[in-house]
Amino acid sequence: MAISREQEEILIKKSIEAAPGAYVPYSDFHVGACVLGEDGNFYTGFNIENVSYGATTCGEQAAVISMLTNSSCRKIKALAVAAGNSCDSMPCGICRQFLCEFVESPEVPIYSVAMDGRYMVKPFSEVMPYAFMNFEKDGTDK
């Protein structure tokens, strides 16, 4: 279940590299994210704000949507979110529920990455305890 050191390094680097692309005219808070899919590929995203603030898409969601729309992969092996100068940007509540649908197991590592590369990592089960989720599902549309 654990990812390799090489995969970890790529995941962290790609999350940092995604942040500058964020569309953030209201908060100026750049969030980059990267997902490692079960297929071994990396998918990135960033936050996309809207003048109607509630219509904003978070970086984590954008990365997962990128995986879903650009591949047939439906399971996440790891996720990194990069923002700010400390390792304390964990996915927001809405993102946590969104991730419930696609994490491959409760052990999936969630990395909170500072823009200088420092990071904190927690299993999804710790980020989202008592989650409303269904690990029986295989990710297909049946």
Residues acting as catalytic residues: 60
Query: Would you give the end-to-end CA distance of the chain in angstroms?
Result: 26
Q: Pick between residue 39 and residue 98 the one whose CB is nearest to ligand THU.
A: 98
Compare residues 84 and 123 and give the one whose CB is closer to ligand THU.
84
Nearer to ligand THU, 30 or 77 (CB): 30
Any contact of residue 66 with ligand THU (CB under 6 A)?
no
> Is residue 87 part of an annotated ligand binding site?
no
3, 109 Cβ separation under 8 angstroms: yes
Q: Which residues contact 138 (CB under 8 A, 6 or more apart)?
A: none
Residue selected from 3, 7, 17, 24 as contacting ligand THU according to rule CB under 6 A: 24
- Give the CA distances from residue 42 to residues 17, 49, 110, 137, in Å, rounded to whole numbers and listed in that order: 13, 23, 14, 22
Any contact of residue 98 with ligand THU (CB under 6 A)? no
Task: Give per-residue burial for 85-108: e unless 16+ CB within 10 Å, then b.
Answer: eebebbbeeebbebbbebbbebeb
The yes or no reply on residue 58 touching ligand THU (CB under 6 A) is yes
Helix (H, G, I), strand (E, B) or coil at 134: coil
- Contacts of ligand THU in 31-50 (CB under 6 A): 31, 47, 49
Site size toward ligand THU (CB under 6 A) is 13
- Site of tokens 């529920």: 97
User: Backbone phi, then psi, for 58, in 5-degree steps?
Assistant: -75, 155
Which residues sit in the known binding site for Zn(2+)? 58, 92, 95
Binding-site residues for substrate, in ranges, read 47-53
Query: Which residues contact ligand THU by CB under 6 A?
Result: 24, 27, 29, 31, 47, 49, 56, 58-60, 91-92, 95
